[in-house]
Amino acid sequence: MNEYNSIFQKMYYLPVIYFWLNNDNLYDNAKENLKNILDRNQKYFYQKNIRQSKSNKHEYDILEKTEEYNEYKSALIRVILIEHAHNYPNCNGASLVSKIMDVWRKNDKIKDTIKEYIYERTIHKITQREKDINNIEDILMLINLRILENYYR
């Protein structure tokens, strides 16, 4: 994790709403609602993506950033953020990004070349844009969907 301290320059602002859910009942209800939204958006995204990939004969890994893609990724990010804020109330967004990237690098089920390519491309996007944005939600939108899915599983 020390490796990331030199990569990520900002702490990445985590919206206060995620910390307000420290009451267990509020947290459980909000998390359940967000998970239901995530499940629905994931289903729509993959159904549409599979249909398009069959008709266009594209490789699955080439994802068009459609409305379904953005809604699914946003729902996934909200679930990750609510869990992070609840489980680590004193952490900042940069530590979450570091954990996400660390879990990605440790995944043995993905080929090293693919893992490294996606990792390097994602790090480049984050470090390039972190001068302009400091909101963790916007930073997480820069992270590859496969990395976010890998972290959430």
Query: pLDDT of 39-89, one tens digit each?
Result: 999 999 988 876 655 554 444 455 667 888 999 999 999 999 988 888 887
Of 82, 73, 64, nearest to 22 by C-alpha is: 82
Half-sphere exposure for 49 (CA within 13 Å, toward CB): 19
Quote the CA–CA distance of 30 and 28 in Å, as a whole number: 6
The listed range with the strongest mean pLDDT (52-61, 78-87, 90-99, 103-112) is 103-112
> Sign of dihedral through CA atoms 137, 151, 117, 95?
positive
Concatenating the DSSP letter of every residue in 109-136 gives: TS-HHHHHHHHHHHHHHHHHHTTT--BH
Weakest-pLDDT range from 17-26, 33-42, 62-71: 17-26
Q: Which residue has the higher pLDDT, 25 or 54?
A: 25
Residue pair 14/92 in contact by the 8 Å Cβ criterion: yes
User: How far is 72 from 63, CA to CA, in rounded Å?
Assistant: 13
For residue 70, the enclosing domain spans: 2-152
How many separate domains does the chain show?
1
Higher pLDDT, residue 42 or 14: 42
Amino acid at 27: Y
Taking the mean position of all CA atoms in its chain, how far away is CA 116? 17
| pTM above threshold 0.95 | no
